[in-house]
Structure 1
Amino acid sequence: MTLRSVKEADVAGKRVLVRVDFNVDVVNGKVVDDFRIRAALPTLELLHKGEAKKIVLLSHLGRPQGRDPQFDLVPVEKHLRELTTVPFELHENLRFDVREEKNDPEFARQLAELGDLYVNDAFADSHREHTSIVGLAALLPSYAGLNLESEVEHLLQALSPSHPALAIIGGAKFETKEPLLQKLLSTYNKVLLGGVLGNDLLKARGLPVGTSLVAGVIAPTSLAGNERLLSPVDLIVVGEGKGGRTSQTGDVRASEKIVDIGPQTAEAWSKEIAGAQFVLWNGPMGVYEAGHTSGTDALATAITNSACRAVIGGGDTIAAIMKHTFDPEKVFLSTGGGAMLQFLIDGTLPGIEILKK
């Protein structure tokens, strides 16, 4: 796949519109996780070095229903100015205009008037056929930013990994994951399932899951019988008003909920990681946001201690990896969650297709 690269663009004296993904957590007016903001810095520095006349950044934040001060990008702008001396303008939250999510031609024309060139550096939003991703790119000379190029390069590697290859899929956003599992099983030696999909697989294999959240995407006859699709062998479960306990699969009580993989599973899967040449990981193994992090943290430790190459995506998964020191030449952290999964299924995204040479 060959994209028109910002490295090839003549930006001198030109106004450059850069679609970035600054959809970050803001608490009490402060950015609490700037991973996606930092990912845009190399492109901004390249444009400044190339003597761009003006750099205008475009992003959304959250899901506002029209104009809403709660979703203002001012805290993001302030944080970015602390990270770089590159001069820039940050456009207001794109989703303050309801036309952004409708790929509206008139809104695209209005945005296009702000610049002479367009750069997409928002990989995490490139699965969406929105105005600033697709419509705007069609109206101006358009290029891939450095972060987007890096994402595509590493995810293409994940579609043709070195073997033995191991995929780990967890989390609770499950709407896209059944076709992903089919794709991974055709490419990877083993696929390990935790989180909601792990619960699904246990249920499909006739094992009790109590009151655990399930997605219902794994039909008992389709994927459940595949021996290369691994489910946990033990679990951390909690009952009503009680602390957690370790349970063997098959021993989960009707009143209990699965909140993490158990220590035996964490140890066994860490050994799988140690024996792999390539690991793809998206999504935590437990209810990470509620503090059930031990399984996810154990696998993160195994990856950072391993010689394997790894591509990792999803906010909680990346948070676990970033607790450790790792070699960025071997471990790639994707800014995309849903976009990463969709790219792995389709091999491209709407926002990438329009940038192809």
Structure 2
Amino acid sequence: MNIKDKVEQYSIEQYAKQHSLQGKKVLLRIDVNTPLGENGVVDPYEDWRIMASLKTINFLSSEGASVVVISHIGRAKEERLKPIADYLSQKITIGYIPHFDESLIQERIEALGHGDVIMLENIRQFDGEENNDAEYLKNIANACDIYVNDAFSVSHRKHASVHAVTSLLPSYFGIQFVHEVSSLYDVTKREGTTSLILGGAKFGTKLDLLKKMLPHISYAMIGGALANVFLKERGFNIGASYVDDTDISDIVDNEKIIVMIDAIEGHGDVIMLENIRQFDGEENNDAEYLKNIANACDIYVNDAFSVSHRKHASVHAVTSLLPSYFGIQFVHEVSSLYDVTKREGTTSLILGGAKFGTKLDLLKKMLPHISYAMIGGALANVFLKERGFNIGASYVDDTDISDIVDNEKIIVMIDAIDQDGDVVSVDEIQNHDVMLDIGPETEKLFEHIIAASDTILWNGPMGKYEDGYTSGSISVAESCAHAPAWVVTGGGDTATVLQETNLIDTIDVVSTGGGAMLDFLVEGTLPGIEAIVGK
């Protein structure tokens, strides 16, 4: 029996044809390791792994099973799955346990009804996961009836949640896992012309794949830095191009292997290299990984304003390797942000979002120079609380604003949208209420101030935009779009509002930076700027 047939034999769908899943407690391993945007939420354009996992989750739930979902996210132990759970909750009904409290988890598992789904916290917080020691999973497994692996993408590793766990429970494969194994098995069995395309910087396992597939394919097209290995071995001068130290002597002259016949080197040509954050040196501000590339270049241009608040190698240390200059967008953003506090007339600041961070420094720095500061989002809760209002169960940032709490320039919301979608005056908030967006009266108040302003600086949404509380942010966006004022905005969430309302082209300046914009306005410069002008 081949591997495809074996996996299909142990599929959860096959199991369900012979046994009822009704009332079964299923421990389900999925892979929803998804990059998050600057706002800390899932980018819908990056949700493909999440969407793939829904096939098995929905199948189990529809069959009446109670599903306990485990996964990992990122590389750091402290990273959390809450953004993933929040995103999934937009697609299905799912619970989430933010702490790995075994007694609480067991209670929740026992209380699960038919079709219920809960997600546990990041399993890579446990050393046992990567050491293939399932001890941390024993009590959870004891509360479950079967285990399902639907995480094909991590099953090349002997980790506890895909390997050792199978000694604790009867084990099966999920729908996506079976689909991937079946498709990959079939790829070398199909008739006709089969072509392999390989790219990237380093061979690694790709060389083993290439050698194994060569007898069964018609062509192997090699691009990226992998091609440099073949070009060098075939006698071509590859200049200062990166080359992997790999022995390909046994296949170098294989006629099935096609490499690039010309490289981009002419006037006006453009090439893009692979993700620079794959190198530890990038975030450690060590430009060693860039030396050979810099040696092949004449000048360096920084047009990445949005990351220039970080001392990273590609915006800071790199300037020691080449004559360095700024790009057009970078200059435009610096010029616009510098001018924002120098303009005459009525200047208004609009701040939103969940946490103050650098925004508090910006607010304090700008207060002497502006006419109004309109505060929305959860930031407003800090002022409301300090001004004696009951904010109920609303989120509040632990920030000291005692020195500015009574400043008359600071305008906060006078009504809000609560957890039930109702409009509530801020002086009528009950202990159980959660304020999730500014209300219609606040929208009118902010609109009036915006219309009377000559200059506007906006950063951050007015409500919990990612959860659908969009009305306040859209209202501010429309007010800014229709105002005669010169408008500057920045931050990923703010740009999203403008993009989704098709108003982005009506704004005078949309900064590419969130944190970078705030840091520049507070400090008057950035590490990426000083690296060039401070030489």
TM-score, scaled relative to structure 2: 0.50
Q: Does 1:275 align with 2:452?
A: yes
Asked whether the 8 Å contact 1:167–1:188 carries over to 2, the reply is yes
For residues 119 and 63 of structure 1, do their structure 2 counterparts lie closer, same or farther at Cα, with a shift above 3 Å needed?
A: farther
Q: Which residue of 1 aligns with 2:309?
A: 127
SS in 2 for 1:302: helix
Q: Does 1:234 align with 2:415?
A: yes
Asked whether the 8 Å contact 1:266–1:299 carries over to 2, the reply is yes
Task: Give the 5 Å matches for 1:231-310.
Answer: 231-238=412-419, 243-310=420-487
Q: Which residue of 2 aligns with 1:27?
A: 46
**Structure 2 stretches of 5 or more lacking a match?**
1-36, 50-72, 77-152, 155-198, 202-223, 225-267
Q: Which residue of 2 aligns with 1:339?
A: 516
SS in 2 for 1:90: coil
Asked whether the 8 Å contact 1:107–1:131 carries over to 2, the reply is no
1:344 maps to amino acid: L
Q: Which residue of 2 aligns with 1:163?
A: 345
For residues 112 and 313 of structure 1, do their structure 2 counterparts lie closer, same or farther at Cα, with a shift above 3 Å needed?
A: same
2:46 maps to amino acid: V
Q: Which residue of 1 aligns with 2:533?
A: 356
Please state how far the C-alpha of 1:196 moved relative to its aligned partner: 2.0
Q: Which residue of 1 aligns with 2:379?
A: 197
1:148 maps to amino acid: F
For residues 295 and 73 of structure 1, do their structure 2 counterparts lie closer, same or farther at Cα, with a shift above 3 Å needed?
A: farther
Task: Give the 5 Å matches for 1:19-168.
Answer: 25=43, 26-27=45-46, 87-168=269-350
1:27 maps to amino acid: E
Please state how far the C-alpha of 1:165 moved relative to its aligned partner: 0.5
Please state how far the C-alpha of 1:251 moved relative to its aligned partner: 1.6
CA deviations over 1:105-131 (Å, ceiling 9, x no partner):
533534523522111010000000011
Q: Does 1:222 align with 2:241?
A: no
CA RMSD, Structure 1 to Structure 2 (Å): 2.9
Percent identity at matched positions?
37
2:352 maps to amino acid: G
Matches of 1:190 and 1:281 in 2, distance apart?
Answer: 12
Matches of 2:289 and 2:389 in 1, distance apart?
Answer: 52
Please state how far the C-alpha of 1:327 moved relative to its aligned partner: 5.7
CA deviations over 1:300-325 (Å, ceiling 9, x no partner):
11111111100001122122223244
Matches of 1:105 and 1:318 in 2, distance apart?
Answer: 31
**Structure 1 stretches of 5 or more lacking a match?**
1-21, 31-61, 78-85
Point out the structure with max Rg over C-alpha: 2
Please state how far the C-alpha of 1:159 moved relative to its aligned partner: 2.5
Asked whether the 8 Å contact 1:165–1:190 carries over to 2, the reply is yes
Which deviates the most, 108-117 or 167-176? Answer: 108-117
1:181 maps to amino acid: L
Q: Which residue of 2 aligns with 1:46?
A: none
1:289 maps to amino acid: E
Matches of 2:275 and 2:48 in 1, distance apart?
Answer: 15
CA deviations over 1:212-265 (Å, ceiling 9, x no partner):
22112243x311111111111111111xxxx22111112212112110000000
Asked whether the 8 Å contact 2:371–2:409 carries over to 1, the reply is yes
Matches of 1:324 and 1:112 in 2, distance apart?
Answer: 40
SS in 1 for 2:528: helix
Matches of 2:475 and 2:488 in 1, distance apart?
Answer: 17
Residues paired across the two proteins, number: 285
SS in 2 for 1:136: helix
SS in 2 for 1:235: strand
Q: Does 1:172 align with 2:354?
A: yes
Matches of 2:300 and 2:46 in 1, distance apart?
Answer: 31
Matches of 1:64 and 1:127 in 2, distance apart?
Answer: 23
For residues 100 and 63 of structure 1, do their structure 2 counterparts lie closer, same or farther at Cα, with a shift above 3 Å needed?
A: farther
Matches of 2:474 and 2:339 in 1, distance apart?
Answer: 25
Q: Which residue of 1 aligns with 2:497?
A: 320
Matches of 1:73 and 1:339 in 2, distance apart?
Answer: 31
1:121 maps to amino acid: D
Please state how far the C-alpha of 1:173 moved relative to its aligned partner: 4.2
Matches of 1:147 and 1:282 in 2, distance apart?
Answer: 19
For residues 326 and 29 of structure 1, do their structure 2 counterparts lie closer, same or farther at Cα, with a shift above 3 Å needed?
A: closer
For residues 173 and 147 of structure 1, do their structure 2 counterparts lie closer, same or farther at Cα, with a shift above 3 Å needed?
A: farther
Of 196, 199, 207, the residue aligned with 2:389 is 207
Asked whether the 8 Å contact 1:304–1:324 carries over to 2, the reply is no
Asked whether the 8 Å contact 1:274–1:308 carries over to 2, the reply is yes
Matches of 2:200 and 2:385 in 1, distance apart?
Answer: 43
SS in 1 for 2:532: coil
Asked whether the 8 Å contact 2:352–2:462 carries over to 1, the reply is yes
